[in-house]
Chain A
Amino acid sequence: MGADISRRALLGTAAGAAALGATPAVLAAATGSADGSGGEVSAYGGGSPSSGSGAAGSGVVAFEGRHQAGIVTPAQDRLHFASFDLLTDSRGRVVDLLRRWTDAAREMTAGRPVGASGALDGPADAPPEDTGEALDLDPSRLTITFGFGAGLWNRDGRDRYGMGAPPSKLIDLPHFPGDKLDPALTGGDLCVQACANDPQVAVHAVRNLARIAMGTAGVRWSQLGFGRTSSTSTSQATPRNLFGFKDGTANIKAEEREALDRHVWVRPGDGDPAMVDGTYMVTRRINMHIEIWDRTSLGEQENLVGRQKGSGSPLSGGDEFTPLNLSMKGFGGAPIIPVDSHVRAAHPDLNGGARLLRRGYNFTDGSDGLGRLDAGLFFIAFIRDPAEQYVPMQTRMATTDRMSVEYLQHTGSGLFAVPPGADGPRDFVGRRFFD
C-alpha cells in the first residue's frame, strides 16, 4: 500500500497536473493540444528527446479527450498489444465490459491501480483487484487505446449485439501478394494498444484488462514491442528498425494539424457519426528475414531502402528530412532512388497523396525453430480510410518494393475502428455505437 501511495504522491492531485519535469517546453506542448488531440497534458519528459528514449518521461498522459490517447501522443518506447474475441451474445455484457475497461484505463493511465481496493487494500482472503506489478513504478506515459474489429458488428453473418451496419470504412483487408497470415495472429473483435516507457507498465495494463474481460472476451493474440519504429512528433528523433535503418522519417507528426485532419481523423462528412474524431488502425505483424538481410551489402541495403543507412538521407541527396527527388537520374540514367526501392513505393506521390500515421514497434518473439530470430516490425498505422490509404500502398509495396518482396513476410493482420476518446469521467470509449 505504501508503494501505491508513493505513485500518487509523485503525481500530485488526481487532476493529473503535469508534475514531473515540467519545463516551459512541456507546458507549451500541453497547451498545443488543449483541444484534445492526443490528450497531452503532461510531461514528455525532463529528459531531452535526444536522450534516445524517445518520448522520455515517466509522467501521465491524459486518458480522456476528443481523440483517444496513444495515437498522436509522442510514441513511447514499449508496446503491449492484445486482440480479443468476444465470447458473449449479450449486448449488455459488451457495454459493461467497455465501461469497466474505460474505468480501469482511466485509473492505470493516471498511475493508479485498478479497482477501489487496488493491489493491497482488499480483504486478505480475496485475490487483489489489481495484479500489483506496477506498484512502485511511475505512470511511464502509459496510454491505452481501444479498437473494435468487424466481429463486434457481424460474426459469421450474425449481428450478435444488434449493432446494425459497421462503420463504412471497416473493410475486409484483401490478401496481399506474399502474405502468410497466421489465423492465430490475425483479426479479433476488440483490441487494446498499451504503450508506455516502462514495459512492465504496459504489460500490467493488458494483463488487468484481460482479467476484467474474462468470460466476456478472451485474448486471441498479443504482441510485445520493444523499440518504437516511428516518431509521431517533431520533438522525437527518428528511431531505427531491425534492418538498422531510420524508419518513419516521413510519418505524419502530431504538429501537422492539417495532415491529421486530412489523413487520420474521421470527419463529420465521412458518413459515420459515431466514428467522428476517431480513426482506423491497421496492424500488421511483419517478419523480417534478418539473417539474409545481414548478408546483404551496404550499398544494396541502401538501394533497397532508397536512403542512406547512417544519416537517413534520401539517395537523391540532402539530409534526413530533405524531400525525395524521385526523378533525379543516377549512373546509367537510372533513377538514383531505384524504381524498386522502398521509399519510392511508399511515397505519397505514387499513392494519390495518401499518408499514414505510423506507430509501429520492433519485436522479437524468440526464434522460429530453424535457427532464425522470429523478429520484425509490428506495424501500426492510424488512418481515416483504409481502402483509400492503406490497401493501394500495401499492394504497391508487396509487388514493386524489392525489400518487401525479398526480405519481409506479413504473418499477422488486423483492422480496427478506433472510436473517439471518452468525454469526461462518466463516459466510456465507444459509447456512441451503443446509444
Chain B
Amino acid sequence: MVATAAACTDNSTGSNGDDSRSIAVESSATTCKLSATSAPAGTLRFNVRNTGSDVTEFYLLAKNKTRIIGEIENVGPGITRNLVVRAATDTYFTRCVPGMKGDGITAKFTVTKTDGPQPVLANAALLDTAMVTYKKYVNDQVEALTPATRRFAAAVIARDDDAARAQYASARMHWEAIEPVAESFGDLDPRLDLREADLEKGQEWTGWHRLEKDLWPPAPEANDGKTYVPLTDAERKDLADRLVDDTVELEQRVKALVLSPDQLGNGAKELLDEVATGKVTGEEEIWSHTDLWDFQANVEGAREAFTALTPVLKVTKPALIPTLDERFAKVQALLDSHKVGDGWKYYDELDKDQIKALADAVNALGEPLSELTAATVS
C-alpha cells in the first residue's frame, strides 16, 4: 500500500491555480471551517472535506439564507468533494449540515467586486419556466403514446400484421422521445422495452420487442439457428393487453412526476447516448430495422429539452446556443436525407458510409449537449 499516495501525483486534479477563488471547507460534527470568508466574483471552488463521522452537506445560499446557489450532498466521512459555483458580487451564506439533520452551521460569505465581467447566474424563474415547458412536452408525448399503443395492440390481436407493422414504429416514437423519463420507472421499463439480448435466464419476455419479433419473424440463421415459433392467438392477446395496461400505468405515473432542473439537461444527454449505443448500431430494432424512427424521436426529445432551456442559456452560456442549433440541424438534415414517405429507410438499407456519417453527427451533437446541465443549473 506504500504506493497509493504516489499514484495520483502525476495527473491529479488539474487545478486552475486561482487560489483566491479556491476555498477549503472542513465540516466536522460541530464546526464548518472555511479557509476564507470572502472571494472575488467568478467561478468559486469549495473543497469540502468531511472530518466528522457522519455524512455531511455543504450549501452556498443567497443572502436571504433560503435560495440555494449551489450545494454538494453526500460527502461521506473522510471524503473531499468539490462544489464549483459561479457567484456574482453580493453577500451569501455558507452552510454545513453534518448528519444532514437540523439547521446546520451557517456563516456569512462575501463575494467581492472584480475588474473582469460579472458572472451571470441562472435565474430561478427562467428555470421554472423551462421545466414547465418541457413537462408539457413529456405529458403530450405520453398522452399520444397510449392511443397509438391501443391501435397497435388491436391490430396485433386481429392478426392484421400489415397494419401492426405500419403502426409499430410510429407508436414507439412517443416512447423514444421521452425515453429517459419513461425509463425512470425501473419496474415498467423492462416490462415494456426489454430487448431479447437483455433477458436474464428464465426471465419472461414481454413488451414491444416481443411483439416486434413476432411481426418480423427471423429466419433460423438470425435466431441462434433455431426455427422461430410464432405466437398463438392467445399469447398475442395476452402480450398486447399487457402492453396496453402497462402503457396506461406509465401515462399516469409520468404525469404525476415532478421534474428537477438537472433532468432536462441530463435527459437530453441520455437521449443522445441512446442514439449512439442503440440506434446508430441497429441494435434497438433488431427484427424490424426501424431504428431511424427511434433515432428521430430521441433527437426530437433532446431538442425539446434544449429549446426549453434556451432562455436560461441566453443568460448563462449564450455561446452554446448556436453550436447546438447547428449540430441539431446537421443531424436532422442527415435524417431527412433518409426519409421515405412518412417514415425512414430501414437500418439494413443504410450503407456503411451513411451509418458512419450518422454516427459522426451524433458524436458532434452529443459532446456539446453534455454541457447543457452544468451550463444551466450550476
Chain A residues with a Cβ under 8 A of chain B: 48-50, 52, 174-180, 234-238, 246, 289, 291-292, 295-297, 300, 308, 310-311, 313-322, 328-331, 336, 369-372, 395, 398-399, 406, 409
Binds A, one of B69-77, B147-155, B314-322: B69-77
A179→B4 contact, CB < 8 A: no
A313 to B200, CA, bound (A): 31
B201→A395 contact, CB < 8 A: yes
Instruction: Pick the 3 closest A-B CB pairs, nearest first.
Output: A317-B76, A295-B370, A50-B3
A178 to B198, CA, bound (A): 4
Task: List 15 additional contacts besides A177-B199, A177-B200, A369-B356; criterion CB under 8 Å.
Answer: A48-B3, A52-B10, A175-B199, A177-B197, A234-B1, A238-B7, A296-B370, A316-B76, A317-B55, A318-B78, A328-B76, A329-B55, A330-B76, A336-B76, A395-B200
Nearest CB to that of B277 among chain A residues?
A289
A319 to B49, CA, bound (A): 13
- Max chain A CB contacts within 10 Å: which of B266, B276, B374? B276
Chain B residues with a Cβ under 8 A of chain A: 1-8, 10, 12-13, 50, 55, 57, 73-74, 76-81, 100, 197-201, 203, 266, 269, 272-273, 276-277, 280-281, 283, 352, 355-356, 359-360, 363, 366-367, 369-370, 373-374
A290 to B50, CA, bound (A): 31
B12→A310 contact, CB < 8 A: yes
Contacts of B374 in A (CB 8 A): 297
Nearest CB to that of A289 among chain B residues?
B277
Contacts of A370 in B (CB 8 A): 280-281, 355-356, 359
B201→A289 contact, CB < 8 A: no
Q: Say yes or no: A295-B78 contact (C-beta < 8 A), given A336-B55, A399-B200.
A: no
Indicate which residue in B57, B266, B272 contacts A331 across the interface (CB closer than 8 Å).
Answer: B57
Contacts of B360 in A (CB 8 A): 371
B200→A331 contact, CB < 8 A: no
A295→B199 contact, CB < 8 A: no
Nearest CB to that of B72 among chain A residues?
A299
Indicate which residue in A52, A237, A246, A317 contacts B78 across the interface (CB closer than 8 Å).
Answer: A317
Contacts of B355 in A (CB 8 A): 370
A395 to B200, CA, bound (A): 7
Nearest CB to that of A325 among chain B residues?
B76
**Nearest CB on B from A337, distance (A):** 9
Contacts of B6 in A (CB 8 A): 50, 52, 237
- Max chain B CB contacts within 10 Å: which of A177, A234, A296, A328? A177
- Max chain A CB contacts within 10 Å: which of B7, B8, B10, B269? B7
**Nearest CB on B from A51, distance (A):** 8
A237 to B6, CA, bound (A): 9
B79→A315 contact, CB < 8 A: yes
A331 to B71, CA, bound (A): 12
A280 to B104, CA, bound (A): 53
A320→B4 contact, CB < 8 A: yes
A386 to B200, CA, bound (A): 18
Contacts of B203 in A (CB 8 A): 177
B366→A331 contact, CB < 8 A: no
A292 to B276, CA, bound (A): 8
B198→A238 contact, CB < 8 A: no
**Nearest CB on B from A370, distance (A):** 4
B277→A322 contact, CB < 8 A: no
**Nearest CB on A from B68, distance (A):** 13
Contacts of A238 in B (CB 8 A): 4, 7
Indicate which residue in A48, A180, A246, A291 contacts B276 across the interface (CB closer than 8 Å).
Answer: A291
A322→B100 contact, CB < 8 A: no
B55→A330 contact, CB < 8 A: yes
B273→A295 contact, CB < 8 A: yes
**Nearest CB on B from A320, distance (A):** 6
Contacts of B5 in A (CB 8 A): 50
A330 to B55, CA, bound (A): 7
**Nearest CB on A from B312, distance (A):** 17
A330 to B100, CA, bound (A): 8
A185 to B77, CA, bound (A): 44
**Nearest CB on B from A318, distance (A):** 5
Could you write out 11 A-B pairs with CB less than 8 Å apart?
A50-B5, A52-B6, A175-B199, A179-B197, A295-B367, A310-B13, A311-B8, A311-B79, A328-B55, A370-B280, A409-B277
B200→A180 contact, CB < 8 A: no
**Nearest CB on B from A180, distance (A):** 6
Contacts of B366 in A (CB 8 A): 291-292, 295
Q: Say yes or no: A313-B280 contact (C-beta < 8 A), given A174-B201, A331-B57, A336-B74.
A: no
Nearest CB to that of B194 among chain A residues?
A177
Contacts of B269 in A (CB 8 A): 295-296
Contacts of A179 in B (CB 8 A): 197
A308 to B48, CA, bound (A): 14
Q: Say yes or no: A237-B4 contact (C-beta < 8 A), given A291-B366, A319-B78, A336-B76.
A: yes
Contacts of A178 in B (CB 8 A): 197-198
